A and B are shown apart, each in its own frame.
Chain A
Amino acid sequence: MPDYQWPDAEHRTLIGKRISRVDSPDKVSGRARYTYDIKRPGMLFGKMLRAPYAHCKVVSIDISAAEKMPGVQAIEIVQKQGSNIHWAGDEVVAVAAVDETTAEDAIRAIKVTYQKLPHLVSDAEPPAGAGETQGPLSMDDLGDMLDNQVPENQIVSQIQQYGVSFQATEQDYKDAKEEGVPDAVLDAVRKATVHPEAAGATKSNYQKAATQTQGDVDKAFSEADAVSEGLYGAPVITHCCMESHGSTSEWTDPDHLFVHMSTQNVSGIAGQMAEPLKIPAANVRVHQDHVGGGFGSKFGPDRWGIVTAQLSKKAGGKPVRLMLERDSELKVAGARPSAFARVKLGAKTDGTLTAWHSQSWGTGGPGGGGMPPIPYCFGVPNQHKEHTAIRNNIGPARAWRAPNHPQAAVLTMCALEDLAAKLKMDPYDFFLKNIELTKLPKVYREEFPIAAELIGWKEKWRPRGQNVSGNIARGLGLSLHTWGGRGHGSDCDLSIHPDGSVDIKMGTQDIGTGTRTCIAVVAADSLGLQVDAIKLYIGDTLYPPSGGSGGSTTPGGVSSSTRRAVVDARDALFAKVAPALNAQPDDLEAKDATVRVKSDPSRSLSWKEACSKIGATPITCHGHNDQAASKNKPDLTNSGVGGVQMAEVEVDLDTGIAKVTKMVAVQDCGLIIDVKMAESSVLGALIMGISYSLYEEKIMDSITGRMLNPDMEFYRLAGLNDIPELKVHMMTGNGYDERGVIGLGEPPAVSPGAAISNAVANAIGMRVPFLPITPNKVLAALSQGSAQKAGA
């Protein structure tokens, strides 16, 4: 039985060390080629005409003038006459032309008329009693869900849960199938209960989710020694990837498509393009070397990706590139759902949490969205939760680094801090007092003192509003978080060649998280080589499939498949080399670029000499990590991490400007492959976190229904000067390493909002309810606070 287990600390040469990012030299020199940089022979430039209204119907489309323009080679109507548009910026017509300026001119020459319909872009608290339970689904509802790329299983489950309001005819089924509606959805409609009486009913924008209750909440509140009530929330923010979404498609022959796409999901794209294009997935080749950010927004080809293939087809197969403009990127290509709540919390005098009551709401655009997982991390014994999803016209939501967790952390950890203040407890003690209510008490108990030491909590913490000098108020805040992070399904082929070279082929992608480095470290460590000895081939559907990079699943997946392949290949090499060293294969080890006898290292061959024994054909071994943990023997990846973050802020009481002056993160992620990459992930998460805590918000105009800040001046990202001293401590050693590899992308991005909001509350003595904590909100909170004091 091959020994796939991770080597112990003594036998690791590279794993767990600080190894530089292997593709860094390409990135710093401009050699790294991104999808946006791809230029194919004869390439055409694609542009989109986008709807200007948040809710409207397409009345007419006239492309005749554009068609006649010299240089225009293809026009594709994306949403035909009669289509309902549900957000401003949605795609209507696409054009491909010989250059970008011609394509822009053609877009201007297309005449579309719309019938404007009433819209809602606000996600303010729903009026009392506005929430309605979801009724049976209409044909329009289904069409909208399909248009909005709601996952198939979610559509099916909604049909099963709510039934439909229409009786579909055989012709309807036939038409729907023609239009690419998945069979599973059609089956669900066939089996669904029909409620004809619900047809034609106007749907409320406010959809009430089921109320959830556990324990005896009323009793718990009546017996609580302290009760705190507050309002908390985080707005819709965007992904704002530096490289916008987009792709280049070309038909290499009438049945085969070659796509370069900016994606987090190389192996998963072909299948998603095949269905709408009606070709086998095997005929779609997808390639990507580098991607300029995704953060959860780049898992599908998107309508604009499919359109490049359709335009290319119309243009005789010529390559068509369509990358989103910056404003479209911010309007339509990614948004994190908002979440707000009125939270009431109860506790005993000693700080023991007893009761939680929340009324929450938020929007994920046209689909509404679900309730974030509250109370977050802390399993408060008695809970009552109500949630209203707002279906509005701001554009669809997408997964954003740690979907739903940052919002849940704000709603929960800020309420906890308010309650600690009411109990006159140091939140450090209050959180630890209740730590047994979390799933990872041991991890948090170890992390808390380390974080406190790094930020100087014990020396610096003062009760609320008691650290003011002049017009500057200082404060400390904390939060904790959790995430799964089990490795996804991953396959790879690893070859050791007779000349000593080693290569790995894997259909994964490196989204800037160090995936290439992770694979190279695992392979090199297992073979006793350095990382530059490993040649990597990733980012292509020609290689064995590996999962999409989302949910922190990549490190566990790619490291496990690599480890299995490399151990098998190494053992096959040992079998070939053993006779030359007059030893048994089991007695050999690969160390320091040699293959040698464990008990007598003087009996050794250089790596190159050893590989010369392979013969003419390279050794190639396949590595597989199964998505189902139970199928991996042994299981090299794991799930469930904990982290603690603390922030120190300064708030100018005159201007309302809040600045983070120091921030620390203590994080666990099982066995760390490369400490340098791990620290970078956490540092990046802190920086992104400061950005969304203080600056970011997708601001919608209620009158026009459009986004007011679809650019990088008014959609404010933190700059270098907004970032203070940051300290990161990774948990390693006993209790961590032996768990196996766990992903790290999401967890550290969860806590910053709550930690920073808590620090601001500690500084100024009152809660700024919603992120981002902008000067106007700070000043509003301060004036409300002094009004309360004056009235008291």
Chain B
Amino acid sequence: MRDDDSPQKNSSETAMIDEHSGVSRRDFLKISTIAAAVPVVAGPRVVLAAGEHVPVYGPGKVPIELNVNGKVYKANLEPRVTLLDALRDTLDLTGAKRVCDKGECGACTVLLDGKPVYACAMLAIEGQGKKITTVESLLEDGKLHPIQQAFVDNDGSQCGFCTPGFVVACKALLDKHPEPTAEDIRHELSGNLCRCGTYAGIRAAVAQVARKGA
């Protein structure tokens, strides 16, 4: 289902991790906790740890700045708040859902500089200086994005709680592979789970957009 060698969803530090480096998700999560390239907005202390300069935020609330769907948001948050919770509870962008809250199910998938990440498995402070795209941005002038329309046409949702995460993951898949092979689909959608059993509809939705070209 989910392969440990699948592309890293939480590449908050893409420059540091080569996509094909074979770093497992678990290894990566360890690395990401000391991610070094968080931009310095509000002057966190910088300390030397394991030979790297690491910014230290907090304790207590710190001012942070997030670029979400082309808009800049400012907030005061504790450094331990995840990107997902910041989006949902502070910015009221509730399209990304909190389900497993530990990087297992993909319901919180958002794009970080165009790449799908689990918003529950990274901190809000790590999202600074990146372009964050959520499902809310896919509507253009109230019109559904082709992948969203394909979900409607092929009934890719039942309860719908996993749907926004899947829609974002499918968009990322089609951005990367406009004509995805079965293997591309297998690989890129392996990080999202559904309980109602909508996979047949989702697969048909991807096929519909792939045929037409998104």
- Residue numbers of A with Cβ under 8 A of B are 20-21, 23-34, 36-37, 39, 99-101, 240-244, 290-295, 323, 325-326, 511-514, 676-677, 679-680, 683-688, 691, 711-713, 716-723, 726
Contacts and interface: CB of A to CB of B under 8 A. Distances in A.
A720 B189 contact: yes
Given A23-B160, A684-B158, 20 more contacts: A20-B152, A21-B152, A25-B148, A27-B157, A30-B164, A31-B95, A241-B159, A242-B105, A292-B161, A325-B101, A512-B157, A677-B155, A679-B155, A680-B158, A684-B198, A717-B194, A719-B1, A719-B192, A720-B186, A723-B200
Contacts of B12: none
B57 interface: no
Nearest to B161: A292
A1 B151 CA distance: 43
Interface of B: 1-2, 78, 80-81, 85, 88-89, 92-102, 104-105, 107, 134-136, 138-139, 144, 148, 151-153, 155-164, 167, 185-186, 189-190, 192-203
Interface centre among A29, A292, A512, A712 (most CB of B within 10 A): A29
B89 to A, nearest CB: 7
A29 B203 contact: no
A442 to B, nearest CB: 29
A242 B104 contact: no
Given A243-B97, A680-B155, A719-B190, A713 B104 contact: yes
B155 A712 contact: no
A326 B99 contact: yes
A21 B107 CA distance: 21
Contacts of B155: 20-21, 24, 676-677, 679-680
A255 B146 CA distance: 49
7 contacts: A29-B144, A30-B136, A34-B161, A37-B94, A513-B158, A691-B197, A712-B193
A28 B163 contact: yes
CB-based closest 10 A-B pairs: A30-B95, A687-B197, A292-B161, A512-B159, A719-B1, A27-B160, A684-B197, A512-B158, A37-B94, A242-B161
B196 A293 contact: yes
B1 A718 contact: yes
A242 B192 contact: no
Contacts of A677: 155
Contacts of A686: 197
B142 to A, nearest CB: 9
Contacts of A676: 155
A240 B195 contact: yes
A680 B201 contact: yes
Nearest to A721: B186
B183 to A, nearest CB: 10
Contacts of A36: 94, 97-98
Nearest to A681: B158
Contacts of B98: 36, 323
B100 A292 contact: no
Contacts of A24: 151-152, 155, 157, 160
B165 to A, nearest CB: 9
Nearest to A290: B160
Contacts of A244: 99
A688 B156 CA distance: 15
A19 B135 CA distance: 25
B190 A721 contact: yes
Contacts of A685: 197
B102 A242 contact: no
B85 A711 contact: no
Nearest to B153: A20
A686 B107 CA distance: 22
Contacts of A684: 158, 196-198
Contacts of B201: 680, 683
A292 B97 contact: yes
Contacts of B192: 719-720
A25 B152 contact: yes
Contacts of B101: 325-326
Given A28-B164, A293-B159, A680-B198, A717 B136 contact: no
Contacts of A20: 152-153, 155
Nearest to A717: B193
Given A719-B190, A720-B192, A722-B1, A33 B197 contact: no
A26 to B, nearest CB: 8
Contacts of B100: 326, 711-713
Contacts of B96: 30
A688 B197 contact: yes
A684 B200 CA distance: 8
Query: Looking at B100, B136, B185, which has the most chain A CB atoms within 10 Å of its CB?
Result: B100
Contacts of B97: 34, 36, 242-243, 292
B10 to A, nearest CB: 15
Nearest to A101: B78
Contacts of A26: 160
A726 B200 contact: yes
B85 A100 contact: yes
Nearest to A18: B155
A242 B164 contact: no
Contacts of A34: 94, 97, 161
Contact of A292 (B138, B159, B186): B159
B70 to A, nearest CB: 16
Nearest to A325: B101
A22 to B, nearest CB: 10
A36 B195 CA distance: 17
Contacts of A290: 159-160
